[in-house]
Amino acid sequence: MTVFNNTYLVIRHGQSQANVADIVVSDPAIGCVQYGLSPLGEQQAKTAAEQYSGTAITKIFTSDFTRTRETAAIVANTLNLPAPTEDIRLRERYFGEWEGKTSAAYEQVWAKDALTADNNENGVESTAQVRARALNAILEFDAKYHGEVILLVAHGDTLQILATAFNDLPPNQHRTLPHHETGELKLLVKQGDAIPPQVLNTPKK
């Protein structure tokens, strides 16, 4: 049986300025330089770190979007951890032509997702693509490290889609899982847990 060498935690960024403005910000050209955390989002990140009571976190990897970098920095500072490492595989799902539209666009994309894991309509990144890149990051970390407690700082859709691999679901069924709230920190998988076949069989990207 192949098992995980590390424990993985995940946190969605705190409430962002994009959340407050009710717009889709998924383009790295915009999201990596604008739309950081709101004051509430900053507090959510700090509270998540303060309330964490599990095994001590040792490493933090984060999406390079402003809202995730700021969340990761707050958590690291609160817990006196080394500076987080950026990894573009943890980025927000790209929503194509829905960029800059209101959050109502998400429901339309999710309705299409439910039909196929390869939904690329309107230039949207498919759930299969999102899951593959996020899992490739985890598999790389697991090959490199041993005995670490690794926190991944990412985005709502990215984390929902990633979670399907650990709940024996196809990636396009991500909306059947509990909603991952802003600033919510969760356990993804523990060191010593068996690596699911769908994770081991992740396409290389």
- Residue 173 labelled as part of a binding site: no
Please provide the average confidence, as pLDDT, over all residues in the chain. 97
Of 70, 92, 99, 125, the active-site residue reads 92
- The yes/no answer on whether domain 7-200 falls in CATH 3.40.50.1240 is yes
**Mean local confidence (pLDDT), 118-125:** 97
Q: Give percent of the chain with pLDDT exceeding 90.
A: 98
Of 13, 155, 174, 180, the active-site residue reads 13
- Residue 12 labelled as part of a binding site: yes
**Mean local confidence (pLDDT), 139-143:** 97
DSSP string, the chain: --B-SSEEEEEEPPPBHHHHHTB----HHHHTTS--B-HHHHHHHHHHHHH--SSPP-EEEE-SSHHHHHHHHHHHHHTT-PPPEE-GGGSPPP-GGGTTSBTHHHHHHHHHHTT-TT--GGGPPPHHHHHHHHHHHHHHHHHH-SS-EEEEEE-HHHHHHHHHTTTT--GGGGGGSPP--TT-EEEEE-TTPBPPHHHHTPPP-
- The model's pTM is 0.97
Confidence of residue 134 (pLDDT cuts 50, 70, 90): very high
- Residue 14 labelled as part of a binding site: yes
pLDDT, tens only, 54-90: 999 999 999 999 999 999 999 999 999 999 999 999 9
Query: Annotated catalytic, 97?
Result: no
Residue ranges of domains in the chain: 7-200
